Chain A
Amino acid sequence: MEYVIEMRDIRKEFPGIVANDNITLQVQKGEIHALLGENGAGKSTLMNVLFGLYQPEKGEIRVRGKKVEITDPNIANKLGIGMVHQHFMLVENFTVTENIVLGQEPRRRAQVDIKSAAKKVEEISRQYGLRVDPYARIEDISVGMQQRVEILKTLYRGADILIFDEPTAVLTPQEIKELIQIMKRLIAEGKSIILITHKLKEIMEVCHRCTVIRRGKGIGTVDVADTNREELASMMVGRDVSFTTKKEKGNPQQEVLEIKNLVVKDSRGIPAVKGLDLTVRFGEIIGIAGVDGNGQTELIEAITGLRNAESGEIHLNGKEITNLKPRKVTESGLGHIPQDRHKHGLVLDFSIGENMVLQTYYQEPYSKYKQIKAPEIFKKANQLIDQFDVRTPSVHTEARALSGGNQQKAIIAREVDRSPDLLIAAQPTRGLDVGAIEFIHSKLIEERDANKAILLLSFELDEIMNVSDRIAVIYEGKIIAIVNPKEVTEQDLGLLMAGSKRTGKEEN
Chain B
Amino acid sequence: MRLQQILFKLSVPVIAVALGLLVGGIIMMSSGYDAFYAYSSLFSVIFTDPYYIGETVRQMSPLIMSGLAVAFAFRTGLFNIGVEGQLLVGWLASVYMGITVEGVPAFIHVPLAILAAAAAGALWGVVPGYLKARFRVHEVITTIMMNYIALHVTNSIIRNHMLAPGERTEDIQSSASLSSLFLQEITDYSRLHYGIIVAILAAVLMWYLLWKTTTGYELRAVGFNQHASNYAGINVSKNIILSMCISGGFAGVAGAMEGLGTYQYMTINAAFSGVGFDGIAVALLGANSAIGIILAAGLFGGLKIGALNMQAMAQVPPELITIVIALIIFFVASSYLVHWLRNRINKRGKI
Contacts and interface: CB of A to CB of B under 8 A. Distances in A.
A354 B230 contact: no
A171 B346 CA distance: 33
For the complex of A and B, 6 pairs with smallest distance between CB atoms: A327-B233, A358-B232, A344-B231, A349-B224, A326-B233, A55-B349
A367 interface: yes
Contacts of A56: 349
A370 B214 contact: yes
B348 A54 contact: yes
Contact of B228 (A57, A328, A347, A362): A347
B25 to A, nearest CB: 37
B349 A358 contact: no
Given A343-B228, A344-B227, A372-B211, 15 more contacts: A15-B346, A55-B348, A57-B349, A306-B230, A325-B233, A326-B231, A327-B233, A327-B234, A343-B225, A345-B228, A347-B221, A347-B225, A350-B221, A370-B214, A372-B217
Given A55-B350, A347-B224, A362 B229 contact: no
A370 B247 CA distance: 20
B233 A361 contact: no
19 contacts: A15-B346, A54-B348, A55-B349, A306-B231, A326-B232, A336-B231, A343-B227, A343-B228, A347-B228, A350-B220, A350-B221, A359-B233, A361-B214, A361-B217, A362-B214, A367-B214, A371-B213, A372-B212, A372-B216
A43 interface: no
B11 interface: no
Contacts of B235: 325
A421 B311 CA distance: 74
Interface string A340-365: 00011111111000100011011000
A190 B47 CA distance: 76
A326 B231 CA distance: 6
A345 B349 contact: no
B70 to A, nearest CB: 19
B347 interface: yes
A57 B351 CA distance: 12
Contacts of A338: 231
A146 interface: no
B80 to A, nearest CB: 20
A491 B224 CA distance: 44
Interface string B337-351: 000000000111110
Nearest to B221: A347
A392 B222 CA distance: 24
A482 to B, nearest CB: 28
Contacts of A55: 348-350
**From B227, B229, B346, B347, residue with most partner A Cβ within 10 Å:** B227
A54 B349 contact: yes
B215 interface: yes
